[in-house]
Each structure stands twice: as structure tokens, then as C-alpha cells.
Chain A
Amino acid sequence: MKAVIAFLLLMVPALAAPVADTFSNPAMEARARNLQRQFRCLVCAGENVDESGSPFSADVRHLIREQIAAGQSDSQVQDFLVARYGDVILMKPPMQPDTWLLWLAPFLVLGAGGAVAWVVVKKAAARST
């Protein structure tokens, strides 16, 4: 709910910076909405800046739209925000040496489980014949 309010506050001309906070171009608006969902509101519990109502999210939404209006690509917008706030702002954790384990753990467990299952089934089959 607060998201709406913050969002609307940004639309009030007196408060708005030179960049409009809804693009009239639907493709640009869709890009902005999509990008907004990829960044986390750092002062809320697990909300992205698209749905959150905090002033922080309003700021980030504004930054995103400024960048898009300036012709930056999605990945340039992302780099800009990461440089500013750190990796913690990314909803999707980055792939880097200290997160390899995070990304691979589920599949390592799956692989190890599959290997164990293979051995167990082979042994059981040997017993049953």
C-alpha cells in the first residue's frame, strides 16, 4: 500500500525530478517495472523496490527511471545500482567465488543423492536375483 503512496508522491509535479515516473512509452515502462522487481528494498523485509512503499524504494525507482531515460541498458542500470549499494541490492545473488556453493549446493545434493540411489538400487537388485 505504501508503495502506491510513495509511487504517487513521485508523480506529484512539485516533487518530481526532470524524469517522469511513469514512461508514456509502454516498452520503456515495462523495462522499468521489470528492473524494479530485480532490486531489493534494503530497509524492508524481503520486498523488492517495485512493491515496497519505503522512501528508499521510491529513490531507487527514481534512479532506475533516470538511468533508463538516459539511455542506459538494463545491465548498465544494474551495475550502477550495485556500485552504489553493493550486491545486497540484487534479488538474484551474484555468481562469484563466495556464492558458488550457494548456487551449486542444491544440484550437488541432487547429484550425490542420485549417485547414492544408484548404488542402493544396484545392491538391492543384486540381492533380489
Chain B
Amino acid sequence: MTGELGQLALCFALALSLVMAVAGLIGTRAEANAARRVATSSALGFLVFIVLAFAALTYAFVVSDFSVALVAGHSHTLKPLEIMPSIVGWEMCIRDRLWVLVLALYAGMVALLQRGGERLTSGALGVQGLLAAAFILFILFTSNPFLRLDPAPFEGAGLTPLLQDPGLAMHPPMLYAGYVGLSASFSYAAAALLVGEAGWARAARPFMLIAWIALTCGIALGSWWAYYELGWGGFWGWDPVENASLMPWLIATALLHSALATEKSGAFRTWTLLLAIAGFSMSLIGTFLVRSGVLSSVHAFASDPTRGFFIMVLIALAIGGALALFAWRAPTLQGGAAFEPASRETALLLNNVFLVAACACVFAGTLYPLILDALNGTKITVGPPYYVITFAPIFFALLLLVPFGPQLGWKRGDLKAAWHSLYPALGLAAIAAIAVLAIVAPRTIAATGAFAVAAWLIGASIIDVRKRKGARASAFAAALAHAGLGVTLMGVAGTTAWRSEAITAVAPGQSFTVGPYTLRFDGVSRVKGPNYIADRAHVVVMDGGKPGAVLQPEHRLYPAEGQDMSDTAIRTTGLRDLYLALGDERDDGRFALRAYVSPLAPLIWIGGLIMALGGMLSLWGRLRAPAREPAAPAAPAVAQAAE
């Protein structure tokens, strides 16, 4: 019954999204007040029905109603009861449908906040409505979650054990909040093109910030999950799924910077619009082409042509439509700003050039093998070495330039003064480089350079904070985010250059060393989890001959799914991780153990968190400020330079 109610709710939501689309677009005309009210209320109604549909699906999941296809495909009664109603399985269950739920939430926010002029908001709702209708149709026709199975299977197919982890349950919703969040700036940009209103960058900024924060957190959480769950000790593999989240992040970062220039000084109007379109396009391409596996090989496309075809049409319409609108209307918005070569505007422009080039690199690396295979059947692999050669230098150059931006004034900056005020940061960078060369072995140019740049970024942020002393909290957002970049860079450089590893087979009582640690393997005990059985190793960290902390990596077998996987044990000092993963027992009674010592690894994710905090600070300031341009734009220079 609930399944049918859910189906009905989804159909109502479809109808309301269509109403929202039509009314919203009519509402872009000056006199259409009634249409604007309809658009607003249908957006809220749409949200209500989508929430109802997902509540029905959640209910079916909680009571293990295996006659609902989606539940049968992803759940199992052996699921641990404590996580059963939790977000873990639920999230897995609705995964692809989450897109629509988040879209509805953003539409609701656009409708409630009513940022920007009423015609602009109405147009944004109209475009959101179009997107929502397209996605619901996609769900209903290609993968209806409420499809009934007759007869209902006795038992569900279960959930891949790899995915039964809270860390995993958290990061995809985060990423989705980011991907779909870019739809809000996309809708505002399209509405701005229709209405010809310039204030859209200010109106859409909170949505850009939310999307960027969510993407930052999602990428950091995803990388952390891969690190502690997959057992290979790495944190980023440049695989298509990771790249799919990195591309929107790069464009969203460029958009945040460019939109700031548009808002503060009217520069780069058309470019910012194009970036807003590109950001959401990257989300679409990332999630639907790469994640869904449609293009992972030509054969996947052939095996499910309806789904693939639908996705292609959807993406082509969304991106093509927006670009056509851009080509048609953008020339009417021309109004080049005036600024000097040494100015904040130039700095932001350079930021964009580097970020877009970095994104082009990830884009080429992700899609080129697919295209080449489709064109002439040549198969190549684009692995990490490609990104080390292309992405790394481009991003490195960007990081070198970052500290100048906040030191330069709008319109007319003083490069010499900026340079002078950055001297202490330069000194800090030199000290960092010398310290790394003197203290740590092995000496590598890359690690030395990375630490110098990290110190340069963090030092510049401190200078920036001191300069703004006494300003409101959101003035420190950029300094915080840029410092976060430096922190992450230190983590990446530390683990990459100085990781030590030991891959051994040990018998109980045997000791081995990895990096500075001596570890004693005390044997393995068999433990029973809620839906798995595991070998749990007891590994003692020896502290000067005396036993210290105990690490317990596990090797788990999930009988329902017939899969096994490792549960790593990580002991961190905050500056260094000791990382253990247990393998199988061998015939001679010895156990395979993989041990890593990753210096500075935690900094990778701490830096990501700091960046996200910077974003939140800025968002907080934005939501408190009035949504429209204040009548008197004479804000003090420092406060304005803040964001």
C-alpha cells in the first residue's frame, strides 16, 4: 500500500514540477504577479510530495517490504537491526533518487528565501521546475523505485559489504547536496539570461556557497572513507568516480571567485554566467555519465540502451539549452568593467584560468579513454602519472598565486605593497623549506616545494587575518579557506613523500617493524558481528620493549553477500597514522599483514574541513546580510575586500 502511495506522491510531484516550470517562466514577465505566486507555492508543494514519496520508500525499506523492487535489490533481513532504520541502508536504497529529493529541497529554498528580484526568482524556479520534471520522468520510466515484484522475493539481495559503513553513508548525500546545489546557481544564471538582471550573482551566492561547502565536505569524507575502508593506504586514486566529484568542485571554486568579482565590481558578467552553466554541466556529466557507468565502457551503454539514451538526451537538453540561451542573450548583457592590471579582478581572473585548466585536465583524463575507445577502439589507461604531470603543476602554480588576491584592492591594487606585506609569508616558506631539507629524509624536491608553498599559503592567511582585525567574522572566510589549502597540501606531500610500508606474513608472537614502529603480532581471534564473521588480529605496538597500544584490524566475511573485506585499524597521533590491514590466514598458520606509516595523513582531511569552515563563515555572513544590493554601496574597503 505504501508503495502505491509513494508512486502517487511521485506523480503529484511531477505534475507540480511542471506547473512550477510553466508558471515560473511566465513569471519572468514584469506584470505576471499571479504566475509568480503559483510558481512559489507549487515549488513548496513539489517539495512536500517528494518528501512524502521518499518517506514511503523509507517505510518500505524499514519493514523490509521486498515486493518493492528497489528494497529487494538493496536490503536484507540480516541487516543489523541498529542500522536498519538508519541512514546507511536507506541512503543506499535511494541513491540515484536522492538527486530529485535534493533538487526539491533547493527549489524549496529558492522559493522561501526569494533572493534577488521577483522576476529573477520566478525564472530560477521555472528552470528548477524543468530540471525536476525531467529527472522525475527519468526515474519513473527507467528505474521506478516503487515497481512491485510479483511474487515478492523471500529475501533481499543484500547490500555490498563495502558500502555498509557510516563513512560511506555520509559522503554521497554530501556530494549530492553539492552536485544538485549547483543546479540552483545554474537556474539563477539561466533566469538572469532571460530577465537580463545583473544582480543574480548576489542572489545566488548562498546557493553557490552551500554547493561548494557540500562538495568540499563530500570529497574530503569520500577520500577519508577510501583511506580507512579500502585497505590500500592511499587517499586519492584519480578514478572516474573521484574525478566526477573533483570536476564540479574545481568549477564551483572558480565560480565562487568569479561571481565575487561580478558582484563587487561588475566584471566578468558573461563569464560568471558561463561558469554557473558549466558547474552544473560537470555535475550532470560526472554523476550520470561516469557514476552510472553508462560510458564506463561502450558495452554498458549497449546493455541498457533506454537508460543510457535517456541520460544522454537529458544532459544534451540541459547543457545545450542553457548554452543556446547563453549564446542568444549573453551579448545583450555586455558591459565590460574597468580595472587596472594590478587589481583583485585580475587576481580572480587568473584564479579562474588555472582552475579551468585544472578542470580541463581532469575532464580530459576521465573522458579521453572513453572517447578514444568509441572512436577507433584504441584502449589506453589514464592513471595517476598523467595527473602528476599535468594537474599537479597547474594547481601548484595556482597555489603560488593565491596569497596575492586578498592583498590587492578592487579596481586598482598596489602590487608592490601587496608583495611587501607578504614578505613574512615568504620568510615562513623559506624556513619551511630549509626545515624539511634539514630534518626529514628522504629529501625530495616535490615535498620541499610543497611545504614551502603550504607555509606561503598559511603565512599569507595569517597576514590577511591580522590586516582585517576587528572586521566581522565573515571577513576571515577567504583566509581560512586558503589556509585549509595549505594544510591539505602538507598532508598530501607528507604521505606521498614519506610513507613507509611493510607487507609481511607473520606468525603469532612474531615481531616486525614499519617506519619507526616495532609491532608484535599476538594472533587472531574469531569474532561474530551482526551480519558478518571476522578474524580479528591483535597487534601490539612495542614501546621500548614494553607492550603499548593494541591495534585490531579485522578480516570480515559477510555470508549473506558471500563477500569478504578488511576492516583496517588506524592509530593516529594527529600528525602520523599507523595503519594496519589484515589479510587471509596461510596454510602454515601465518597471517598476511599490510602496515603503513603515513606521516601527516590526518592533515589532508583536516585541511578540507578548514576550507569548508571558511565557506560556512562566508555563508553565515551572507545569510545575515540583506539579499539585495544595499542602496548605499559605500562599505568600508576592508569589509568589502573580505569575501
Contact = CB atoms under 8 A, between A and B. Distances in A.
Interface of A: 1-5, 7-8, 11-12, 38, 40, 45-48, 51, 86-94, 98-99, 101-103, 105-107, 109-110, 113-114, 116-117, 120-125, 127-128
Given A8-B505, A125-B339, 8 more contacts: A4-B503, A38-B385, A92-B386, A102-B386, A113-B352, A124-B336, A127-B337, A128-B338
B204 to A, nearest CB: 22
Contacts of B573: none
B87 to A, nearest CB: 26
Contacts of A46: 237-240, 383
Interface stretch (B16-24, B51-59, B586-594): B586-594
Interface residues of B, number: 63
6 contacts: A1-B566, A1-B592, A40-B383, A92-B389, A106-B364, A109-B357
A117 B386 CA distance: 26
B227 interface: no
Given A1-B592, A105-B364, A93 B378 contact: no
B336 A123 contact: yes
B141 interface: no
A102 B582 contact: no
Interface string B549-592: 00000010000000001100000000000000111101100001
B354 A91 contact: no
B47 to A, nearest CB: 37
B360 A105 contact: yes
B341 A121 contact: yes
A4 B592 contact: yes
Interface of B: 231-232, 234, 237-240, 267-268, 336-341, 345-346, 349-350, 352-354, 356-358, 360-361, 363-365, 368-369, 372, 376, 378-386, 389-391, 394, 411-412, 503, 505, 555, 565-566, 581-584, 586-587, 592-594
B231 A1 contact: yes
Given A1-B592, A107-B390, A102 B382 contact: yes
A109 B345 contact: no
A113 B357 contact: yes
Contacts of B583: 1-2, 4-5, 8
A23 to B, nearest CB: 14
Nearest to B588: A12
A87 B337 contact: no
A83 to B, nearest CB: 15
Contacts of B382: 93, 102
Contact of B380 (A48, A93, A116): A93
B592 A109 contact: no
Contacts of A1: 231, 555, 565-566, 581-584, 592, 594
A59 B361 CA distance: 33
A87 B239 contact: no
A74 B412 CA distance: 55
B356 A113 contact: yes
A3 B583 CA distance: 9
B349 A120 contact: yes
B338 A127 contact: yes
From B376, B566, B582, B592, residue with most partner A Cβ within 10 Å:
B592
Contacts of B389: 92, 103
A11 B565 CA distance: 22
Contact of A102 (B234, B368, B594): B368
A54 to B, nearest CB: 13
A71 B363 CA distance: 40
A107 B385 contact: no
A106 B391 contact: yes
A106 B358 contact: yes
Contacts of A94: 380
A93 to B, nearest CB: 5
A98 B379 contact: no
Contacts of A106: 357-358, 360-361, 364, 390-391, 394
Given A93-B382, A106-B357, A128 B340 contact: yes
B41 to A, nearest CB: 43
B552 to A, nearest CB: 15
A89 B381 contact: yes
B364 A88 contact: no
B391 to A, nearest CB: 7
A17 to B, nearest CB: 19
A3 B231 CA distance: 10
A89 B354 CA distance: 31
A106 B386 CA distance: 11
B364 A98 contact: no
Contacts of A3: 232, 594
Which 6 pairs between the two chains have the least Cβ-Cβ distance? Answer: A91-B383, A92-B385, A106-B361, A127-B338, A113-B353, A128-B338
A87 B555 CA distance: 35
Given A1-B594, A48-B383, A93-B386, A105 B361 contact: yes
Contact of A128 (B350, B356, B411): B411
B356 A109 contact: yes
A125 B341 contact: yes
Contacts of B368: 99, 101-102, 105
A98 B238 CA distance: 22
A110 B372 CA distance: 23
Contacts of A121: 339, 341, 346, 349
Contact of B381 (A2, A90, A105, A110): A90
A8 B592 contact: yes
Contacts of A40: 381, 383
A46 to B, nearest CB: 4
B562 to A, nearest CB: 15
Contact of A109 (B240, B341, B360, B384): B360
A107 B163 CA distance: 38
B385 A117 contact: no
A124 B345 contact: yes
Contacts of B345: 124
Nearest to B231: A1
B381 A93 contact: yes
B46 to A, nearest CB: 37
Contact of A45 (B239, B411, B582): B239
Contacts of A86: 379
A113 B412 CA distance: 22
A124 B337 contact: yes
Contacts of B268: 120
Nearest to B354: A110
B135 to A, nearest CB: 27
Contacts of A110: 353-354, 357, 360, 394
Contacts of A102: 364-365, 368, 372, 380, 382, 386
Contacts of A51: 232, 234
B352 to A, nearest CB: 7
